[in-house]
Structure 1
Amino acid sequence: MNYESVGVVGAGVMGVGVAQSLAQTGHRVVLLDVSEAILERAKKELKSGMRAVALFNKKAAGDPKEVMERVRFDTDYGLLAEVSFVVENVTEKWPLKKEVYERMDAICRPEVVFAANTSAIPITRIGGATKRAPQVVGMHFMNPVPMKPMVEVIRGFHTSDETIEAARRFLAEMGKECVVVQDSPGFVSNRVLMLTINEAIFLLHEQVASAAEVDRIFKTCFGHKMGPLETADLIGLDTILFSIEVLYESFNDDKYRPCPLLKKMVDAGLHGRKSGRGFYTYA
């Protein structure tokens, strides 16, 4: 195994999913976040995630005890000095991300690749916040990470061919494939998906249809496993808003204007599955 120890920065939904997927494929993981409370919640989410995978593929899930033992939950960024690869998953707010990359850049060994698991922020901008722009690559995982076989890999302006190949090898170790695309806000997946979700929210806002009706049309007419509003709840409405705002700012195009209902729901704390309520209510 080329990447035995991996740093995963950010212990939210995506960070936990990445850590779980890595641990289940035999990697040692350092999962970092800013507080013990967040890390305790991450432990519970990881255990829940392992149970979910076991329902579909018990062999792939691995031994729960061994998987948990491969993950170190910590707040100390200094631990990144020993890892061989980093996947960053912090909130989609550029000032926060910039600070995280500057911090990681000062700690990690010069040869370590930084993979940004971002929904919309340009990889070229992220690389510019470091002294290792050729070793910064976008690695857009889909949720839930352990169950999704494909990853969108994004080449920034300075990303080297060697880094792209390192990303391919890293993902192969996780049992995943990838499609490599060029750097553009939202890349391929979210440039289309966020626009679709935002428009679906406008339909709800304008009372054209209910959330269930919108989703039913997409599932029954087009064969989608989830409708756009169910997908929004899974991703997190706060993440949807951050992403669509980045697209709006980047392209200066009104088609990316966030729906007022989306803003209102985020302000109200209705963030989807992770908060217990979004377009639907969760137990």
Structure 2
Amino acid sequence: METRAMRSGFRQAIAAFRSQTKRYPSYQSRRFLATPTQPPTDEIRAAPPFRFNDKQSQGEEDMEEGNSGFAKLLPKLRIVPASPSYFTGKPGFTDDILELQTLLRKYITLPVLPPGEAPRIAWKTHAQYKVQSGEPVKAARYTKILQVLARLNYIHPSVMPEEVKKALEKYKRDVQPFLNKPKPGYVDEYGRARGVGRRKACHAVAYLVEGEGEVMINGKSLSQAFGRVHDRESCIWALKATDRIDKYNVWAVAQGGGTTGQAEAITLAVSKALMVHEPALKPALRRAGCVTRDPRRVERKKPGKLKARKMPAWVKR
């Protein structure tokens, strides 16, 4: 029994060996072996250096020596951008902020002006900067540029470098509203001072002359021109706030709008005319609210709404 078992075991082993030799022939293993095709040599040669030649003759010589030449390398060359942030999402903004920050680090030790004494400059708005850079820059990012510009603007003008001045000029508006100066008022040969005021859709011109406190509006007395007491007080509020009611005569012309708008327009016109006579009264007039221009207007009713903003009841449902 033992001899039979041994014989069957030998037979199974021989059959398994024969099946393996059929599936994996002997020459299959040699396919994955690397065999040298040339005899080994001790000399090691490096590739010839690339030479970028403009002339065709030199390129042909290089090609003969083994180089590809400028003509073949030209399609493979990559142009290096001048801006280091070219591959960012907003290269223009990044270059601008890096340039300003570099100037700030370079001239951080220069003397600066006292707080609040820097020259007032109207910088470009967010919309104007987006048009200039051609990129969709967010308002928060542009605020960072404005902060650096404000710090550079505090450098003392006597020691401000030229490159800082050029950088600031890039972000200034074409028209500076802070440089606009109002026309100086004057008193004519008849002792009259002229003032102009506006409110809503109304326009008023007032002439102020020393007198006994008489007021004429559009050729009418104050009580005839305005029926409401509030409008009458508004016309002469500048004189009442400075205790000058019985020292000046007022002659005014008002056009457009309603009675309230005309009365408040006359208030501003009388205030400007009064400051021509007595410039020292400007702080008192400003505290009384007579000098400030009020541009507010009544919001008009819109189609489909009950009032300016009120929606109908069926829409709310």
What TM-score results when the alignment is normalised by the length of structure 1? 0.26
Q: Which has the higher helix share?
A: 1
Of Structure 1 and Structure 2, which has the larger fraction of its residues in strand?
1
TM-score (norm 2): 0.24
Which protein has greater RCO, CA pairs closer than 8 Å, 6+ apart? Answer: 1
